[in-house]
Amino acid sequence: MLLLLHLYLGGMIFTHGFKKVFKGGKLAGTARWFESIGMKPGMLNAYAAASTELGAGVLLIFGLLTPFASAALIALMIVAIVSVHRKNGFMITNPGGGVEYCVTIAVAALTLGSLGAGKYSLDHAWGVFNTWTTSRDFLVTLIVGVVGGVLQLVTFYRPPRPAE
C-alpha cells in the first residue's frame, strides 16, 4: 500500500512541475500567474515551485528521503491553500476551487512521511531512516513542511489588494 501512495504522490507532483516547465505558458506563464496571486517575484517563485515539484516527485517515486520529500509537498500545499484556495471554502468544486484537494494531498504526504516509503523504496534498500521512529518521522515531516511553507509565504507572498 505504501508503494501505491509514494508512486501516486510522487507522480502527481512531478507532473505538476513538468507542466510548469514544458506545457501551456511554461515558466513565463507560471511566473505571470504567480505575480497575479501575489507570489513575487513571479519568475523566482515559478522556478522554486517547479523545481520543488520535480525534485520532491522524483524522491517520492523512488521512496528516497521520504520525510523530507513529503515535507516539501506539505509546504507546497500550504502555499497553495493560503495564496489561492482558502478564500474559496472547503470543497474543490466551489468556484475558484476550495482547500479540500490541497488538504487531502498534505494529509497523504504527512502520512507517507510518517510511515516511510515501505519495503519497496530506496529508503528501505539503502537503510535510510531505518532507525527513525514513526513519531520522529511525523514530527520532522510536519515541522519541516509547515516551516517551509510559512517561510515561503512570509518571504514572497504579497496578496493583491481587493478591487474597490
Give the pLDDT band of residue 53 (cuts 50, 70, 90): very high
Q: Report the distance separating Cα 54 and Cα 153, nearest Å.
A: 20
In this structure, what C-alpha cell is assigned to residue 38?
Answer: 501575489
pLDDT of res. 127: 87
Whether pLDDT at 97 is above 70: yes
126-136: average pLDDT? 79
pLDDT at position 161, please? 83
pTM of the entire predicted model: 0.94
Looking at residue 116, its pLDDT comes to: 87
**Hey, what's the torsion of the CAs at 137, 139, 144, 150, to 10 degrees?**
150
Crossing angle for the helix pair 100-115 and 2-22, nearest 10 degrees?
A: 130
Confidence at residue 129, expressed as pLDDT on a 0 to 100 scale: 74
Contact 160, 37 (CB under 8 A): yes
What average pLDDT does this structure show over 106-127? 92
